[in-house]
Structure 1
Amino acid sequence: MKTINKNIGFIGSGNMAQAIIGGLLSQKIIKSKNIFSSDPSPQRRNQFSKEFSIKTFSGNVEVVKKSDVIILAVKPQIMEKVLKELKGNITSRHLIISIAAGIPIEFISKWLGDDLKIIRVMPNAPALVKEGISAISPGKNAGPEDLELAKEILNAIGKTVFLEESYLNAVTGLSGSGPAYIFLIIESLIEGGVAAGLPWEISKELVLQTVAGSVSMVTLTGKHPGELKDMVTSPGGTTIAGLKVLENKKLRYALIEAVEAAAKKATYLGKTYSKKNKTK
């Protein structure tokens, strides 16, 4: 794995910043002396300093001045405030990577400058255990080297795909919100096992390995999930009886509609930020 010989600064020290820093350091992709972070909370700064042996700051501008790559890891609600603070301090030498959900590249460039290199990323919750998937979308000024650098950084917390920004709302609805759907399914299956008479811990163990094994079957065989489903389903057997209930309850359509609803919400939020830009 390549090493990164640049200074990386994190604006915001939330869970995702913590996951990325932890991934970079555990895989020895970068040295702790080359990572900086900011956060208004003294407790959070102290935690990052102790856990990662990195230098932390209460102000964002100090991080920008020391960094080549700026990772915007703040909540969408405070992004505008942060960008106002950073305006004039970020230059064309910086690469900006935003992992804030729903914030278009257009919104960031409106505040910081139209000539900057900006990349938007949509990671997901499994990044916290280095099993995430991140969709990477370049702005107009980001070149191949910038994309490769972003990929190296995000690969520290899982896998990456490259997509045009227009697809990121769909990504948000699927892989961004998807872990919550999977957790609900897992929870429901565990409860189903309990309802059928199993102890909760045994039911949990059976469900987790069943889900993990099923994912491995799809990944390793390369077969369509529908084909694998048919392999498990015998005529007149127990599995078809269960599938009949799921189809009658429209589980398939509920999941499809959940992804669509989340994607539409992401689109709405993105348009809200775009409208803010037009009123400036």
Structure 2
Amino acid sequence: MKIGFIGCGNMASAMIGGILKKGLVQKNDIIVSNLTEAGSKRSREKLGVETTMDNREVAKKAKILFLAVKPQFYEEVILEIRDLLTEEQILVSIAPGKTLKWLEDTCGCSMKIIRLMPNTPAQVGEGMTGGCCNERVTEEDAQKISEIAGSFGRFEFVPERLLDAFSAVCGCSPAYVFMFIEAMADAAVAQGLPRSQAYSFAAQAVMGSAKMVLETGKHPGELKDMVCSPAGSTIEGVRILEKAGMRSAVFEALNGAAEKGKRL
């Protein structure tokens, strides 16, 4: 089974790394296209996969074809390769805003199409990916994609109407979490901690807290309450965050990101 990636930036590289680490296919079963020779060299050296600068070569060879270019280039790339696409292939999009119907209409043929929304923690094997598919995708096809997406983190299928919401909470939110970690580290530095330790301590605290949510099954509010001793320092910090509108700011940021995703 040949897997192809048109575009091999950070996200595609992370996905390929997970696929290879899990042993789903061998390196010579993956072909990627890059815009430049420097990009091709980087993909060969980093991943050890077959490389080309010809998108059409990838489209010809791949049984599962990932479009890993920026959303604004989707139409251009699909028009370049669509005469090579077949009903036997699975076309996988990782772009926000490009609906299944848009992809079907642009491809101009009856194809199996899947939309995936991975996020950047896929680069460390801790991604959260959501996906949806059209009616031509079989259970066997869906299982193959589930295995691929699961190789670099967690994966779940969701209805397409919820994919923009998923993308906001999982695709965009790492940026907000990084901002939160940075802000906590800044505060720690202000209190006297060295910068390198501040980042490390803050990041570990966030990772551990997230793991508690996932592994205990307890409501985040209950876990928060467990930390807040009566008249203690934590509840004082919670009071200040609430006064500053932390929840509302996060709410508005995610809603704004979701609405923007629909317009891409």
TM-score (norm. length: structure 2):
0.96
Q: CA deviation at 1:234?
A: 1.2
Residue aligned with 1:118, SS: strand
Q: Is the 8 A contact 2:31 2:58 kept in 1?
A: yes
Which amino acid in structure 2 is aligned with residue 142 of structure 1?
V
Percent sequence identity over matched residues?
A: 39
Counterparts of 2:10 and 2:199 in 1: how far apart (Å)?
A: 26
Residue aligned with 2:83, SS: coil
Counterparts of 1:205 and 1:47 in 2: how far apart (Å)?
A: 29
Provide the residue aligned with 1:85 in structure 2: 80
Residue aligned with 2:132, SS: strand
Q: CA deviation at 1:199?
A: 2.3
Q: CA deviation at 1:114?
A: 4.5
Say whether 1:74 aligns with 2:69: yes
Say whether 1:113 aligns with 2:108: yes
What pairs up with 1:208-219 in 2 under 5 angstroms? 208-219=203-214
Which amino acid in structure 2 is aligned with residue 221 of structure 1?
T
Residue aligned with 2:198, SS: helix
What pairs up with 1:73-152 in 2 under 5 angstroms? 73-152=68-147
Counterparts of 2:76 and 2:51 in 1: how far apart (Å)?
A: 20
Say whether 1:55 aligns with 2:33: no
Counterparts of 2:211 and 2:33 in 1: how far apart (Å)?
A: 39
Counterparts of 1:209 and 1:82 in 2: how far apart (Å)?
A: 41
Equivalent pairs counted in the alignment come to 264
What do residues 97-150 of structure 1 show as CA deviations (whole Å, max 9, x unaligned)? 111222112221112134110000101010111110110101121121111111
Aligned Cα root-mean-square deviation (Å):
1.2
Q: Is the 8 A contact 2:87 2:109 kept in 1?
A: no
Provide the residue aligned with 2:18 in structure 1: 23
Structure 1: 5+ residue stretches without partners: 1-5, 270-280
My pick for the range that moved more, 55-64 or 203-212, is 203-212
Alignment equivalent of 2:217, drawn from 218, 222, 230? 222
TM-score (norm. length: structure 1):
0.91
